[in-house]
């Protein structure tokens, strides 16, 4: 494409030729994006082509083509879908991989509810559909909104597309005023094969599997394309309801069925674990002939009153679990071993494979975990794979389970090339040359370069902008790499993202002058960055990329400390292994010594800490909003439970107290507001008495929270 010539210098002939080229390039980009769901150019490049086209047309109005891209209807790819905040969060499920995990699930539920092993407890069991979840909102019986799961809190508005799906009623008779139906959108094997055939005829890229095809089809900006793709929908649950629809899970599904939704016909009620496992085996047997993909069986406590008591952990319900089918396997050649350096400096070996299809997905990379795994031993030094090491050139077995990164599970020694050599794991960082060391008890070798290691810095930035962290539109992993390498407009640490967006005239010009960036894309990026200056505390803590601090730990820390100032102050004062701030950190349920040490250390390391401070100076960190605790008499109070509880288990008592806005601590201190002491209470009761902390028994506690 001849894009060097300034529009003002173009001759009419050049302009005409370029307009033709632009029309062709933009049409191809549209097809790749809208129809094939496989974009070939970046949104920024797309915008730049459109702008160039418009500028030429403005100068040569007579040369405007009848098929001018400026007149094309349909939203541009960059515009995307509107966002929808879910009234009730869309959660995921925890997984079970074998019968023992399922038994443990049942045991933990009984323990939580205080039920004995023989007390009756009924579960529903139904296939886990391998598609994508969708939440449908009906008001007054009319479908008013359909939204994808997104990050669970905010999804994409795909209402127009959902209306094209036959299994989704647009009007329901006799529904409560507000009814949110949740379920899975999927594509059948037959429809998937036919779609890929059509793609091939058009020279388009085939979809890797029905799930991708369903996702690509639902997320079409043009609903007419969705209409042409035969999507289906199974309802399995609900979100917000203005009135209950049943007392049991099964009853609710039956009601949804009467309202016109498809309910999976393999849904069963099971009264014990044996029945569950028998049904699982039956479904697994039928898996290949069902005509659509499933990746396991979901078990849910049937009684909705018990579901309510069990409630949720940070991202999953306690009352349900997904029992996954075993992984799929294939054999292929290991062509090379590459080392990737992660954000915490971990050197991760990656297998480069001769591409092979594993369970419908083409796999060309797989994880090799760490140097011990390659050498054929576990972290305790015991032999794995009968001690067989993994060498470049080996014939290897690749294993893939659901969304989990594929791994190399085994090797076939009989096919090992004669000249294959043991793999020498590097002892220096391949990215920055610093020493890579393995600390006592750590399975992983780590680069010691810290912030000077470009790989660590880039990975930290990628983590920083990832979906559960800052999630800045238009600034993904690819853009971060580009800006990191840019000498004019470098982003070397998170704070740089926000100083870049100060709209200083020089930055604007530099950005606009970059290949593929126009004034609009620069402005869009700055606006997206600005939008994230206001950030919830949990997202900020997660985004810092501290080792051992994942999304749910970040949430725990945020809930406990409530504000950046409180968190930062406590971590700065804390010393690993001692003192009140350390004890307070450890007393948070779900925070162990390893994570606690990692957080404290991260905030004490000079250069890292300085980088965090530079970042926070650019932000408006939102405090954790107190939960909607109504008239809770215990909101904000620090409560300790001790001794035996008789009406509910300790776990349930704690979850209920937290839902009412209390902070539950494991130890009594002068900050404790209330001690709930059952029979057998010992030293904590004594300490509370010494400190003058109010102490009540279980009945008084239940009376206190009865109306909350």
Q: Summarize as ranges the residues that interact with ligand IVH (CB under 6 A).
A: 91-93, 126, 128-129, 133, 149, 184, 236-237, 298, 317, 320, 322
Whose tokens are 């991708």? That residue is 212
State the minimum distance, in angstroms, from the CB of residue 509 to ligand IVH. 45
State the minimum distance, in angstroms, from the CB of residue 440 to ligand IVH. 37
Distance from C-alpha of 87 to C-alpha of 90, rounded to nearest angstrom: 9
State the minimum distance, in angstroms, from the CB of residue 220 to ligand IVH. 19
Nearer to ligand IVH, 254 or 623 (CB): 254
State the minimum distance, in angstroms, from the CB of residue 106 to ligand IVH. 17
State the minimum distance, in angstroms, from the CB of residue 404 to ligand IVH. 12
Which pair of structure tokens corresponds to residue 650? 């300790």
Confirm if 390 and 396 have CB atoms less than 8 A apart: yes
Nearer to ligand IVH, 60 or 123 (CB): 123
Nearer to ligand IVH, 93 or 146 (CB): 93
Residue 128 annotated in active site: yes
Whose tokens are 């629809």? That residue is 245
Checking 267-271 for CB contacts under 8 A at 24+ apart, the result is: 267/124, 267/125, 267/126, 268/124, 268/125, 268/126, 269/122, 269/123, 269/124, 269/125, 269/302, 270/122, 270/123, 270/124, 270/125, 270/299, 271/120, 271/121, 271/122, 271/123
Residue-wise over 692-704: b if at least 16 C-beta within 10 A, else e? ebebebbeebbeb
Residue of minimal CB distance from ligand IVH?
Answer: 133
Confirm if 542 and 599 have CB atoms less than 8 A apart: no
State the minimum distance, in angstroms, from the CB of residue 134 to ligand IVH. 8
Q: Are strands 320-324 and 294-301 parallel, antiparallel or unpaired?
A: antiparallel
Which pair of structure tokens corresponds to residue 405? 């990164």
Nearer to ligand IVH, 237 or 359 (CB): 237
Quick one: which of 145, 150, 189 has its CA closest to 170? 145
Nearer to ligand IVH, 402 or 627 (CB): 402
Nearer to ligand IVH, 89 or 416 (CB): 89
Quick one: which of 237, 210, 214 has its CA closest to 91? 237
Quick one: which of 587, 673, 679 has its CA closest to 634? 673
User: 348 pairs with which residues across the strands?
Assistant: 340
Q: In Å, how far from its chain's centre is CA 465? A: 13
Find the catalytic residue in 128, 232, 300, 663: 128
State the minimum distance, in angstroms, from the CB of residue 163 to ligand IVH. 20
Nearer to ligand IVH, 211 or 462 (CB): 211
Contacts of 613 (CB under 8 A, 6+ apart): none
Q: Which residues are catalytic?
A: 128
């Amino acid at each position: 494409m001849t894009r060097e010539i300034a529009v003002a210098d173009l001759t009419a002939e050049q302009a005409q030729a370029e307009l033709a080229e632009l029309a062709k390039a933009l049409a191809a980009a549209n097809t790749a994006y809208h129809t094939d769901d496989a974009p070939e150019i970046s949104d920024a490049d797309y915008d730049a082509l459109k702008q160039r086209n418009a500028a030429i047309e403005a100068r040569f109005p007579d040369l405007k083509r009848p098929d001018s891209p400026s007149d094309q209807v349909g939203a541009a790819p960059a515009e995307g879908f509107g966002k929808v905040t879910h009234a009730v969060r869309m959660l995921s499920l925890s997984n079970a991989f074998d019968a023992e995990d399922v038994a443990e699930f049942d045991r933990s539920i009984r323990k939580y509810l205080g039920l004995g092993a023989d007390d009756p407890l009924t579960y529903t069991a139904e296939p886990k559909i391998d598609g994508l979840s969708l939440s449908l909102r009906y008001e007054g019986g009319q479908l008013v909104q359909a939204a994808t799961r997104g990050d669970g809190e905010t999804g994409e508005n795909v209402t127009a597309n959902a209306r094209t799906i036959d299994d989704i009623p647009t009007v329901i008779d006799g529904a409560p005023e507000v009814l949110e139906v949740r379920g899975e959108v999927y594509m059948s094997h037959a429809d998937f094969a036919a779609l890929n055939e059509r793609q091939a005829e058009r020279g388009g890229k085939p979809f890797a599997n029905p799930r991708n095809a369903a996702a690509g089809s639902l997320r079409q900006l043009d609903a007419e394309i969705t209409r042409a793709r035969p999507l289906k929908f199974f309802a399995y649950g609900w979100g917000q309801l203005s009135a209950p629809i049943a007392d049991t899970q099964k009853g609710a599904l039956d009601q949804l069925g009467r309202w016109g939704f498809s309910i999976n016909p393999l849904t069963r009620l099971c009264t014990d674990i044996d029945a569950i496992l028998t049904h699982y085996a039956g479904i697994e047997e039928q898996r290949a002939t069902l005509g659509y993909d499933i990746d396991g069986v979901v078990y849910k406590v049937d009684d909705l009153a018990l579901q309510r008591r069990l409630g949720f952990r940070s991202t999953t319900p306690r009352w349900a679990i997904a029992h996954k089918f075993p992984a799929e396997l294939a054999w292929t050649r290991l062509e090379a071993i590459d080392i990737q350096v992660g954000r915490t400096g971990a050197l991760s070996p990656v297998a480069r494979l001769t591409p092979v299809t594993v369970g419908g997905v083409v796999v060309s990379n797989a994880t090799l975990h760490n140097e011990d795994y390659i050498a054929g031993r576990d972290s305790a030094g015991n032999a794995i794979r009968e001690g067989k090491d993994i060498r470049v050139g080996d014939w290897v077995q690749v294993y893939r389970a659901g969304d989990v990164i594929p791994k190399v599970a085994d090797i076939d020694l009989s096919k090992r090339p004669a000249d294959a050599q043991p793999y020498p794991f590097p002892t220096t960082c391949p990215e920055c040359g610093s020493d890579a060391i393995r600390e006592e008890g750590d399975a992983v070798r780590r680069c010691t370069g810290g912030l000077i290691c470009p790989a660590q810095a880039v990975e930290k930035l990628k983590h920083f902008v990832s979906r559960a962290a800052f999630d800045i539109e238009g600034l993904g992993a690819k853009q971060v790499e580009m800006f990191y390498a840019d000498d004019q407009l470098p982003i070397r640490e998170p704070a740089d993202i926000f100083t870049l967006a100060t709209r200083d005239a020089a930055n604007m010009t530099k950005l606009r002058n970059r290949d593929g960036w126009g004034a609009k894309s620069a402005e869009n990026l700055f606006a997206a960055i600005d939008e994230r200056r206001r950030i919830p505390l949990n997202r900020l803590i997660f985004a810092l990329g501290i080792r051992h601090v994942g999304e749910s730990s970040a949430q725990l820390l945020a809930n406990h400390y409530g504000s950046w100032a409180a968190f930062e102050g406590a971590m700065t004062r804390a010393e690993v292994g001692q003192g009140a701030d350390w004890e307070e950190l450890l007393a948070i349920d779900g925070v162990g010594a390893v994570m606690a040490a990692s957080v404290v250390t991260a905030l004490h390391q000079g250069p890292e800490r300085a980088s965090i401070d530079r970042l926070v100076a650019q932000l408006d960190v939102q405090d954790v909003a107190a939960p909607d605790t109504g008239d809770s008499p215990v909101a904000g109070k620090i409560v300790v439970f001790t001794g035996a509880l008789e009406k509910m288990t300790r776990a349930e008592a704690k979850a209920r107290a937290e839902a009412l806005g209390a902070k539950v601590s494991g130890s009594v201190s002068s900050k404790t507001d209330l001690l709930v002491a059952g029979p057998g209470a010992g030293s904590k009761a004594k300490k509370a008495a010494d400190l003058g902390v109010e102490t009540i028994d279980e009945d008084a506690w239940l009376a206190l929270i009865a109306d909350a």
